[in-house]
Structures are given as C-alpha cells and as structure tokens.
C-alpha cells in the first residue's frame, strides 16, 4: 500500500540557517508515527512545511489520500487542510474568544459550502448543512470527551481541555492525516494517559497520526514507529525501543560520549 | 364567530408575549416606538429629519461594522463607497430616470464590485497598510467627484435628483411620490430592518464564523481551511455594498449631492459609532449611531452660538475615540469575544510554553 | 518651466521628507502609524506665528522655540495617548491615533480659528523674497535656499544622531527588538519618548517652513501633508530613515511635475495614487522590509 505521506529530500533554509536538510521518510496509512529530536532539531519547521505554513526550499512532499497522490510542498495551508491534513499547534491556537462549539464548527469550514447567499436566504440546502455542522461538531466534542461543554468560552477552559478542543477542531476538518505538535506538553501524568487513549482511539477511526512529542512516556506508549531528526537532518528511524537504544540518538540527546557511558 | 377568532388570536398573542424574552420585548417596544414616532405630539419635520439621519447612519455603521467588528480590520475609506453609491444612484436617476427600486440592487452590486476591486489586491497586506490604502481610496473618490466636472458637475453639486416614487401606472394604478420626510422615514425603517436581519443571519452562519475565526487568530483560521483573502474580500465587498445602498438612499432623499459630503470626516464619524457602541455588536452599533447623530446635531446647534465653526464637533468625536480605546476598548455594549481580544496582551494568558523548537 | 517645477518639487519634497522621517522613526520603535503626526506639523506652524505675534520673537528664535514645543507635544502625545495602549491590539492603537489626529485638528480650530492665517506682516526676514541665484531661467529665492539648507542640515543631523549617539543606537536597538533592548538595560519608554521628541521637532520645523512658504497656516494643513508624508514613508519603505528621505524627495518632485504636466487638479491625488500603487506592488518600499503580520499584539 502506498504511504500516506512521503517526504523526499526536504530542505528548508531561513536565510543562511539550514533548518531542514535532505529529510526523507514516509508515513504509512493508519500508523502512529512519532517525530522526535532535541530542541530546535527542526520538527516544527517540518510540520509547518507539510501544513503549508512554510514553503520548502527544496524537496518534495507527496500526500496520498484515498483518491490520489498530490505533491503538496508549497501549497497554501487552507488547500492542504482541504486535502485532508489537519494539525494542532505547539502553543495551543484556539479561537480563544469564541465558544467551544463555534471552534469546532469553524473546523467544519472546509467541508461545507454556503456563504453570503446561503446565510441570508437560509434555503433548504443551507439549513440542512447548518444542522449537519452542529451535529458533527457535537459528535467531535463527544469524541474528545468535551460533551456538553459547547457553550463555554474556549480560553476559559483548563489547559488539558483546550488541548482536547484543539484536537476536536482538527478532527472536524475530516483529515486523513492528523499532525499533533507536542500535545502532551504541560499535561500531568493522568492527562497524558488520557491523551494517549485519545490518540489510539483516533487512529482506530482510520486516521493516520504524526506526532511530535518530548514526553518519552507518551512516545514509547503510543507510537508504532519513530523518526528522529537532529540539527535538521534525519538521524534514525525504527521501532520505539530500538530507537531509544540507538547510540546515535542517545548522543544527540545527551551529547558526545554519552552513548559510551550508557 | 368572529369574536371567538379574535379572542383566540388575542390569547395566542398573549401567550406569545409571555414566551418572548425581556430582550425581545425591548426590541419590539423600540420598534413600535419607532413606528409611531411621526405621530407623537412633539415630532416635527426637523425631528423626523434627524430620525432619518439616524436610520441612515445605522445602515452605514452596520455595513462598516463587518470589517472592523467582524474581521478586526481597520477600514478608513468607507465613505468612498458611500459616495460612489450616492453619485451612481444620483446620476442614473438624473440621466436615465431609473427607479429607486431598481437602483437599490444595482447599488448593492456596484458597491460589492468596488469592494472587490479595492480589496482583492490590498487585503493580502497587513492591517496597517490596508487601513491607509482605504483612506487613500476614499480621498481619490472625493478628488474624482470634485474634478470630473463633465460627469458630476464638481463642487457645484448635483441637484435635481428625483425623489423616490412608487409608480404603478404601468398596471393602471396611481403614481405616488415620496414628498416630505414621512415616507422616507418609513422607507429608512424598512431598510434598517432588512440590514439588521441580514447581519443577524450572517452572524450565525458559516460565513460569520469564518470572519470571527479570522478576527481571532489568522493562523488557526487558515489551518481550519479558511482562505483568508477570499473571506476578507467577501467581508469588504458586503460592507462596501451596504455603504453604496446607504448612499443611494441618501441621494434620493436629499436630492442634492456635492463632493464635500463624502470627505474623510464621514468615515471617521461612522467608525466612531462602531467604536462607541461596541465593535461587532449589532445593537451596540445601532445605539452608537443614535448617540452620535444626536450629539452631532445638538453640537451643530450649540457651537455657532459659542462662535465656533460647526466642524469643531469632531473634537468631541476624536476625544470619544481616544477615551473609549483607553477605558472601554470594546465599546459601551461589548460583545465578549471582542472585549476579550481587546484585553488580550494586557492580561497574559497563563499557558505553559513548552520547549521551543525552531519557530516561524 | 521644467527646471522651475523641479526646484519647487525638490523644495516641497525635502519638507515631505522631514515629516516622513517622523512617521518612519515612530513606526520603527512602536509599529504604529502615528496619524497625529501631521497635526504636530500643523501645530509647529501655529506655534511659530503665535510666538511671533504675541511674544514678538524674531523669526529664527520663534522657529527654534516652536520646534522645541513640537518635541514636547510629541512626547506628551505618546505618554497620554499611546503608552497606555502598548499591550493592546494594533487596532486599538490605530484608532487612538486617528482620534488624536482629529482631536488636535479641532483643538487648533478652536484656538486659532479655521481660516488660513498668514505670518504677521514683516515677520519673515525681508531677504527671503529676494532672488539668490538665477540659472537656466529659474529664480531661486533665498527662501528656497533656506529651506534646502535647513532640510539638509536636519537630515544629516538626524543621521548622525541615529548612527553616532547613544540615543540613536538605543533607538535602533528598540526598533530591532524591544525585549532584547530592555534586557540590555535600555529604558525602552524613554527611548520611545526621545523618538517622539525628535520626530515632533522635525515635523514642527517642516510645518513652519511650509507655513512660511505658502504664507498660509490653517488647522487642516496637517491632514493632507500628513498623508503625503506617510505616502513618502511607504514609498521609501516604512521603518527606513534614508528611505523616507528619498521617498519624500521623489514624491515632491513627482507631484510638482505631475501637477505641471498632467493635471494640477489631481495634485493631491498623485500622492495617494503613488502610495496605493507602491503598497500593492512593492509593499516593502524602496528600502524597507515587508511588514510581518503581528495582529495579536503590537
């Protein structure tokens, strides 16, 4: 089966700084892939390149949804979302001042159509669509465990719930691939465990997951395969336990010589 | 028999009245008050004139509100669309005798087209640049109206625009011309009601939510699949369309146009209504229109008595803007979303910032 | 004809440059389009004639005192209106700036009346009118020369201040990164005040010179000049001081030539059109960087 996302020789420079250099790896359909690496290894830049927020300097990103394969490098973020890639942000970016349900409803944007005319006239099509938006928004809130909290203001929710809401909003775009940028950051152990359950649960729905995470417990607990990058370069790839014991990886995290000591 | 029907209708309306919320009751009360205003003992032609002015500014302010209120972008050139609408309507009437009822939809489309023409290349810029471009645009409109004398008669103004009329002669009916303030008053009320209706519907729709998303966080909006440029242009076009419709009404109401009616002052005044009432709040914006038009008229009476030029009233408006931004940045009737946003940054969000990677 | 227009364009352009520099410097340190800057320029002219007619100061002294007053006005403007909004969203600060602009304009109308005021008779040095140089059929009055000289001296002075003095360095540091500047011990608010003072003094001087050049001073003069200077700043690339200088001169010349050869009716329109076209086509201007969207806070 064709991998859902192929990253081929991806490069990204910011002026003179090489944030990513010749990164190549693949994500298989319906797997949970962890992307790890020390601070400033280029993980978020890679995310941004896939999501269309950054334009890759060189290389290819090929996304295959159920229908076809498309090169998405340099495509606009809204187009990438429409193709079926959703993401969350390292520093949560909700629509802070809107209600929880509106946040998720906005996530439905790219799967719905009506605009000015529909809004004003409210014909049968628009009413049906609006009803469907509300239903699916509630469905996704239930799914992440925020049932009945639709009327709260997003920014007033506790941190962990904001993370969940962000996931719900991303799911509302009906992605084939969901990219989570450090979802467990700032969470207590209980919240992390709940998050891991949620991630598995999402995968069981057939959604592929790419996960950046610092919390090794989460990575080891949930990922089936791990890609390590360091200083913007591919470093290692494999099953979590193997990668964890890879001297190169230990060195990257702990510094030169650490592997021998370990 | 008839009595019974009447009785049951009465009961039903009573039940309906009990069901309606306090806010709805206030609204219905205000509407009734507005409808009977011309028949109240104190109402004169002058009062009606001011009332029409208030209603006109309600339409304009509601239209402008879409851009700063719903999208969080500053539009300083709104009066340009108002002027385009007024002059287009005036000229079409003057030269071709087009009916008001035909002109209104044309004005809407015309305004929207100008909004798209100006918005499409400029809305990809940052907010500051956009503000200044809209300002330059409205100044260019005034220059054009002043200088293209062959078309607009320039500073002399465009007189003799037909009044609004309902012409049923085609169907063998009568022709009724709108003379005096009264018919315009009711026409304006209808137009305001339509505008409010449209705004409420937009507010609670996919389109409105996309705008609120843009207002709140552009990056997050994009990641939900919202095309920023497209939705900002839609907002700007609809806003411009309402400006042009307001201008058309204005042209047919005062039956005289001159370029200096469309100077920057007007944009400023309308912006001030929104700021005072509460950006993004439909009711607040309307109340802002009531307050500022009234204040403006009162000052217009008082200032000459103090030996000051009438324009000095803008001193008060400038001050209102500054003080509002300082103490009530979301307006007198803030909506929660805008209020929180205008506070944003003052109260830092207490989010844990995890380890930093290379960020954009 | 051409040369005469060119000379007029250069004269006015130099003055635009002086105002434009103010916009650019203030934008540099607080990322705000200070709409009220045009009003500082207007106040400069009014201060000058007030000092001349009520205190009987000679022109040159009045010039300097008015500049100082404008510097103070600039600082007060910042402290009263903008400083409380440093952490607010851009929209709030921008609206405040417009509000202050309108407020000051009308305040001037109340104090000085709305009709154009000339300088008191005999207040301007008599030799201003006399021809200093004639070349190619163009008469350059001493006043032209005075404006040229002042403009050049001030621009050079400004560059020296920015490049050589501690203030100037601090100012550039704040423009680069406020947080880092604060960490290195720079008092950011004081630097911002200096910037407003400098911008105000330059703007005031420009106002006095324009007022004297046309011998007409009126409360709305800052409105048009302000927009044109802003256009100049945009043309040069907002945030760039040399850009603003060049932008002012280019715009002044374009306007004079455009008015002479195309249509004098659209004289003001030329600036607006240049501004809109530049913003759409090359938003970075001639020397600047593209603005980064920082909608959440300023």
B132·C266 Cβ contact <8 A? no
pLDDT of the residue at C288: 65
What pLDDT score was predicted for residue A172?
A: 92
Instruction: Give the model confidence (pLDDT) of A245-255 as tens digits.
Output: 888 888 877 76
Residue C133 in domain: yes
pLDDT of residue C245: 87
Q: Which two tokens stand for residue A167?
A: 């996931």
pLDDT category at C257 given cuts 50, 70, 90 is confident
Asked if the model's pLDDT at residue C295 lies above 60, the reply is no
The per-residue pLDDT for C298 is: 29
Q: Is the pLDDT of residue B9 over 80?
A: no
- pLDDT, tens only, A167-190: 999 999 999 999 999 888 888 888
Which pLDDT score, from 0 to 100, does residue C292 have?
46
Q: Which residues contact B37 (CB under 8 A, 6 or more apart)?
A: B43, B47, B48, B51, B185
Chain A contacts of B205, Cβ < 8 Å? 114, 118-119, 126, 130
Tell me, yes or no, whether C253 lies in a domain.
Answer: no
B135 touches chain C (CB under 8 A): yes
Of A77, A98, A182, nearest to B354 by CB-CB distance is A182
Q: How does residue B14 score in pLDDT terms, banded at 50, 70 and 90?
A: low
Interface membership of B207 toward A (CB under 8 Å): yes
The answer, yes or no, to whether residue B236 has pLDDT greater than 90, is yes
C-beta atoms of B139 and C269 within 8 A: yes
End-to-end CA distance of chain C: 47
CB < 8 Å to B357, chain A:
39-45, 90
Model confidence at A261: pLDDT above 60: no
Q: Which of B201, B206, B357 lies at the smallest CB-CB distance from A120?
A: B201
- CA B281 to CA C214: how far, in whole Å? 47
Chain B (104-123) residues lying within 8 Å, Cβ to Cβ, of chain C: 121-122
State whether A155 and B359 contact (CB < 8 Å). Answer: no
Q: Tell whether the model's pLDDT for residue C94 goes beyond 80.
A: yes
Average pLDDT over chain B, rounded to an integer: 84
Chain C residue closest in CA terms to B344? C88
Task: Please determine, for residue B91, whether its predicted confidence score (pLDDT) is greater than 70.
Answer: yes
Tell me the two tokens of residue C169.
Answer: 């360095």
Nearest to C110 among B137, B140, B312 (CB): B312
Q: Say if the Cβ atoms of B344 and A169 lie within 8 Å.
A: no
Mapping DSSP to helix (H, G, I), strand (E, B) and coil, where does residue B289 land? helix
Of B52, B92, B298, the C-alpha closest to B180 is: B52
Phi/psi for A182 (5° steps) reads 45, 60
Nearest to C234 by CA among C293, C278, C280: C278
* Predicted local distance difference test score (pLDDT) of residue C289: 57
For A141-145, A190-194, B16-20, C80-84, which range has the lowest pLDDT when averaged over its residues? B16-20
- Characterize the bridge pairing of strands A208-212 and A32-36: parallel
The CA distance from C161 to C155, in Å, is 10
What is the rounded (10 degree) CA torsion for B9, B11, B14, B16?
Answer: -70
Q: What does the alpha-carbon distance between residue B306 and residue B59 come to, in Å, rounded to a whole number? A: 32
3-class SS at A87?
strand
Element spanning C255, H or E: helix C241-261
| Beta bridge pairs of residue C65 | none
Say whether pLDDT at B350 is over 60: no
Q: Which residues contact B245 (CB under 8 A, 6 or more apart)?
A: B59, B63, B85, B104, B107, B108, B111, B191
Q: Which of residues 127-166 of A touch B (CB under 8 A)?
A: 129-130, 133, 153, 155, 159
Between B10 and A219, where is the model more confident? Answer: A219
Pairing of strands A32-36, A225-230: parallel
Percent of chain A with pLDDT over 70: 97
**Partner B contacted by C291 (CB < 8 A):** yes
Give me the mean pLDDT over the C239-261 stretch. 85
Q: CATH number for the A1-84+175-262 domain, one of 3.40.47.10, 3.40.50.2000, 3.40.50.300, 3.10.290.10? A: 3.40.50.300
Domain boundaries, chain A: 1-84+175-262, 97-174
d(CA B272, CA B284): 12
Segment holding C134, helix H or strand E: strand C131-135
Higher pLDDT, A126 or B126: A126
Q: Residue holding tokens 């020390």?
A: A38
**Which residue on chain C is closest to B307 by alpha carbon?**
C110
- Residue B257 DSSP class: B
Q: Please write the tens of the pLDDT for every residue from B243-278.
A: 999 999 999 899 899 998 998 888 999 999 998 888
Chains B & C: contacts with CB separation below 8 Å? 153
Is residue C80 assigned to a domain? Answer: yes
- Measured in angstroms, the CA of C105 and the nearest CA of chain B are apart by 8
Give the Cα separation of B250 and B138 in Å (integer). Answer: 18
> Is pLDDT of B348 > 50?
no
> For position B343, what pLDDT does the model report?
62
Give the neighbor-by-neighbor strand order of the sheet with A85-87. Answer: A69-71, A58-64, A5-14, A17-27, A233-238, A225-230, A32-36, A208-212, A177-181, A85-87
3-state SS, residue A34: strand
> CA separation (Å) from C254 to B305, C264, C270, C284?
45, 12, 8, 20
Asked if pLDDT for residue B25 goes beyond 70, the answer is yes
Contact C174, C11 (CB under 8 A): no
Closest Cα in chain C to B128: C33
If you measure CA to CA, which chain B residue comes closest to C264? B147
The confidence band for B64, taking pLDDT boundaries of 50, 70 and 90, is very high
More reliable by pLDDT, A56 or B170: A56
Nearest beta carbon to residue B342 from set C89, C98, C279: C89
Q: Is residue C237 part of a domain?
A: no
Could you report the per-residue pLDDT of C9-48, keeping only the tens digit for each?
888 888 889 999 998 889 888 888 898 999 999 999 999 9
- The per-residue pLDDT for B60 is 95
Percent of chain C with pLDDT over 70: 96
Q: Which residue has the higher pLDDT, B14 or C289?
A: B14
- State the CB neighbour count (10 A cutoff) for residue A101: 22
Q: Is C195 exposed, middle or buried (0-12, 13-18, 19+ CB in 10 A)?
A: buried
Spell out where chain B has E strands: 165-167, 175-177
- A207-258 per-position pLDDT tens digit: 999 999 888 888 888 898 999 888 888 888 888 888 888 888 888 777 665 5
| Confidence label for C275 from pLDDT (cuts 50, 70 and 90) | confident
Instruction: Give me the pLDDT at residue B340, please.
Output: 67
Say if residue B313's pLDDT is above 90.
Answer: no
Look at residue B347 in the predicted model and tell me its pLDDT: 40
Nearest CA to CA, how far is B245 from chain C (Å)? Answer: 26
Q: Name the CA radius of gyration of chain A, rounded.
A: 19
Place of tokens 């519907």: B201
Per-residue model confidence (pLDDT) at position B18: 67
Instruction: Quote ipTM for the complex.
Output: 0.89
Residue entry with tokens 């960490």: C183
Residues 6+ apart with CB under 8 A from C140: C7, C131, C132, C133, C134
C292 neighbourhood in chain B, CB within 8 Å: 126
B264 touches chain C (CB under 8 A): yes
SS3 A62: strand
Tens of pLDDT, residues B173-205: 777 888 888 889 999 999 999 999 999 999 989
Whether C141 is covered by a domain: the verdict is yes
Burial class of B40 by CB neighbour count within 10 A (0 to 12, 13 to 18, 19+): exposed
Question: Could A116 and B216 be called an inter-chain contact, meaning their C-beta atoms sit closer than 8 Å?
Answer: no
Taking the CB of residue B325, how many other CB atoms lie within 10 A of it? Answer: 26
Mean pLDDT, all residues of chain A: 86
Assign residue B280 a region: left if phi > 0, alpha if psi is -120 to 50, beta otherwise? left
- Which residue in C83, A77, C93, A236 sits closest to B221, CA to CA? A77
Q: How confident is the model at residue B4 (pLDDT cuts 50, 70, 90)?
A: low
Interface test with A, best of B112, B212, B220, B241 (most A CBs within 10 A): B220
CB–CB contact B223 A87 (8 Å): yes
Instruction: Quote the minimal CA–CA distance from A204 to chain B in Å.
Output: 23
How far away is chain C from the Cα of B333, in angstroms, using its nearest Cα? 16
Q: What is the chain B residue with the closest CA to A107?
A: B224
Kindly give the pairing relationship between strand C138-141 and strand A177-181.
unpaired
Whether C272 is in a domain gets the answer no
The domains located in chain B, with CATH, are 26-333 (1.10.3470)
Q: Where are the beta strands (DSSP E) in chain A?
A: 5-14, 17-27, 32-36, 58-64, 69-71, 85-87, 177-181, 208-212, 225-230, 233-238
What Cα–Cα distance (Å) separates residue B99 from each residue in B163, B164, B258?
Answer: 9, 7, 21
What's the confidence (pLDDT) of residue B57?
95
CA B35/CA B51 separation, integer angstroms: 11
Q: Which residue of B has its CA nearest to C112?
A: B308
Number of Cβ within a 10 Å radius of residue C157? 12
DSSP assignment of B18-60: HHS-HHHHHHHHHHHHHHHGGGSTT--HHHHHHHHHHHHHHHH
HEC assignment per residue over C60-80:
HHHHHHHHHHHHHHHHHHHHH
Question: Is C110 in contact with B314 (Cβ distance < 8 A)?
Answer: no
Q: With an 8 Å Cβ cutoff, are A159 and B226 in contact?
A: no
Question: Does the pLDDT of residue C253 top 60, yes or no?
Answer: yes
Taking chain A, what is the end-to-end CA distance rounded to the nearest angstrom? 39
Parent domain of C63: 2-220
Q: Looking at the 3D structure of chain C, how many domains does it have?
A: 1
Closest C-alpha among B210, B215, B203, B201 to residue A110:
B210
Give dist(CA A116, CA A105) in Å, integer.
17
Average the pLDDT over each of A255-259, B318-322, C153-157, C193-197 and give the range with the smallest value. Answer: A255-259
Report helix, strand or coil for A210.
Answer: strand
Length of chain C: 298
- Look up residue C187 and give its two tokens: 């008092």
Residue for token digits 């404008």? C70
Rounded to an integer, the average pLDDT of B221-234 is 92
Taking the Cβ of residue B344 and every Cβ of chain C, the question of whether any pair is shorter than 8 Å is answered with yes
| The model's pTM | 0.87
Per-residue pLDDT, B24: 80
Rounded Cα distance between C236 and C17, Å, is 10
Residue of B nearest to C34 (CA): B128
The answer to whether the Cβ–Cβ distance between C283 and B322 falls below 8 Å is: no
Q: What is the pLDDT of residues C163-188, one digit of tens each?
A: 888 888 888 888 888 888 888 888 88
* In chain A, % of residues over pLDDT 90: 21
Structural Rg of chain B based on CA atoms: 22
């Amino acid at each position: 089966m064709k991998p859902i996302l192929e990253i081929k020789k991806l490069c990204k420079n910011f002026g003179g700084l090489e944030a990513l250099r010749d990164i190549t790896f693949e994500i298989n359909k319906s797997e949970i892939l962890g992307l790890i690496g020390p601070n400033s290894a280029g993980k978020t830049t890679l995310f941004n390149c896939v999501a269309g927020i950054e334009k890759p300097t060189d290389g290819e990103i090929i996304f295959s949804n159920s229908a076809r394969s498309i090169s998405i490098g340099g495509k606009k973020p809204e187009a990438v979302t429409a193709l079926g890639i959703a993401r969350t942000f390292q520093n949560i970016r909700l629509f802070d001042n809107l209600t929880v349900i509106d946040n998720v409803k906005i996530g439905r944007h790219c799967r719905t159509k009506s605009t000015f005319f529909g809004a004003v006239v409210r014909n049968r099509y628009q009413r049906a669509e609006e009803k469907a938006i509300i239903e699916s928004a509630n469905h996704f809130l239930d799914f992440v465990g925020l049932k009945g909290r639709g009327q709260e203001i997003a920014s007033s929710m506790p941190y962990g719930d904001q993370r969940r809401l962000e996931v719900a909003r991303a799911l509302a775009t009906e992605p084939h691939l969901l990219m989570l940028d450090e979802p467990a950051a700032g969470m207590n152990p209980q919240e992390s465990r709940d998050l891991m359950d949620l991630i598995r649960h999402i995968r069981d729905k057939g959604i592929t997951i790419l996960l950046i995470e610092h919390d090794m417990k989460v990575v080891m607990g949930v990922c089936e395969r791990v890609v390590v990058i360091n200083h913007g370069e591919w470093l290692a790839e494999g099953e979590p336990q193997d990668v964890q014991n890879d001297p190169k990886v230990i060195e990257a995290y702990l510094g030169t010589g650490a592997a021998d000591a370990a | 028999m008839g009595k019974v029907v009447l009785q049951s209708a009465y009961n039903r309306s009573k039940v309906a009245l009990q069901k309606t919320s306090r806010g709805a009751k206030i609204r219905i009360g205000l509407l009734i008050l507005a409808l009977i205003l011309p028949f109240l003992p104190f109402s004169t032609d002058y009062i009606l004139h001011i009332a029409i002015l208030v209603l006109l500014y309600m339409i304009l302010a509601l239209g402008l509100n879409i851009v700063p209120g719903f999208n969080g972008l500053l539009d300083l050139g709104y009066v340009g669309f108002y002027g385009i609408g007024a002059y287009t309507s005036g000229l079409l009437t003057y030269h071709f005798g087009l009916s008001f009822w035909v002109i209104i939809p044309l004005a809407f489309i015309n305004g929207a087209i100008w909004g798209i023409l100006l918005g499409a290349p400029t809305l990809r810029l940052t907010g500051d640049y956009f503000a200044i471009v809209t300002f330059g645009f409205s100044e260019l409109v005034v220059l054009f109206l002043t200088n293209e004398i062959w078309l607009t008669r320039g500073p002399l103004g465009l007189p003799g625009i037909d009044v609004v009329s309902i012409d049923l002669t085609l169907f063998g009916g009568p022709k009724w011309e709108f003379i005096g303030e009264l018919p315009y008053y009711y026409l304006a009320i209808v137009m305001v009601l339509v505008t409010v209706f449209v705004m409420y519907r937009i507010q609670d729709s996919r389109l409105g939510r996309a705008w609120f998303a843009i207002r709140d966080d552009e990056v997050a909006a994009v990641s939900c699949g919202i095309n920023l440029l497209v939705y900002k242009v839609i907002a700007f076009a609809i806003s411009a369309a309402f400006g042009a419709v307001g201008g058309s009404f204005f042209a047919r109401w005062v039956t005289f146009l001159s370029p200096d009616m469309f100077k920057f002052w007007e944009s400023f005044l309308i912006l001030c209504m929104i700021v005072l009432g509460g950006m993004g709040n439909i009711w607040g914006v309307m109340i802002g229109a009531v307050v500022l038009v009234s204040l403006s008229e009162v000052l217009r009476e008082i200032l000459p008595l103090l030996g000051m030029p009438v324009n000095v009233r803008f001193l008060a408006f400038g001050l209102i803007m500054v003080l509002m931004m300082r103490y009530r940045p979301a307006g007198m009737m803030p909506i929660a979303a805008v209020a929180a946003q205008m506070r944003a940054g003052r109260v830092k969000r207490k989010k844990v910032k995890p380890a930093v990677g290379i960020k954009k | 004809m051409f040369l005469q227009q060119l000379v007029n364009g250069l004269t006015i352009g130099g003055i635009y440059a002086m105002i434009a520099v103010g916009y650019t410097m203030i934008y540099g340190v607080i990322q705000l389009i200070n709409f009220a800057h045009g009003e500082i320029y207007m106040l400069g002219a009014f201060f000058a004639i007030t000092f001349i007619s009520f205190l009987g100061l000679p022109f040159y002294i009045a010039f300097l005192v008015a500049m100082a007053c404008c510097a103070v006005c600039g600082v007060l403007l910042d402290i009263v209106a903008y400083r409380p909004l440093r952490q607010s969203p851009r929209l709030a600060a921008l609206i405040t700036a417009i509000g202050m602009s309108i407020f000051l304009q009308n305040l001037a109308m109340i104090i000085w009346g709305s009709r154009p005021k000339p300088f008191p008779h005999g207040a301007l040095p008599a030799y201003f009118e006399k021809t200093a140089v004639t070349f190619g059929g163009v008469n350059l009055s001493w006043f032209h020369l005075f404006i040229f000289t002042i403009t050049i001296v001030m621009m050079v002075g400004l560059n020296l201040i920015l490049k050589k003095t501690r203030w100037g360095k601090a100012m550039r540091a704040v423009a680069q990164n406020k947080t880092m500047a604060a960490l290195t011990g720079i008092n950011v608010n004081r630097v911002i005040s200096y910037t407003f003072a400098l911008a105000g003094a330059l703007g005031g001087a420009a106002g006095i010179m324009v007022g004297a050049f046309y011998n007409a001073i009126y409360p709305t003069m800052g409105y048009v000049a302000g927009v044109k200077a802003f256009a100049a700043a945009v043309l040069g690339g907002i945030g760039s001081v040399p850009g603003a200088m060049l932008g002012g001169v280019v715009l002044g010349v374009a306007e004079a030539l455009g008015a002479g050869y195309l249509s004098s009716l659209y004289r003001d329109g030329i600036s607006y059109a240049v501004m809109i076209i530049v913003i759409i086509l090359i938003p970075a201007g001639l020397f600047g960087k593209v603005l980064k969207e920082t909608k959440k806070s300023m």
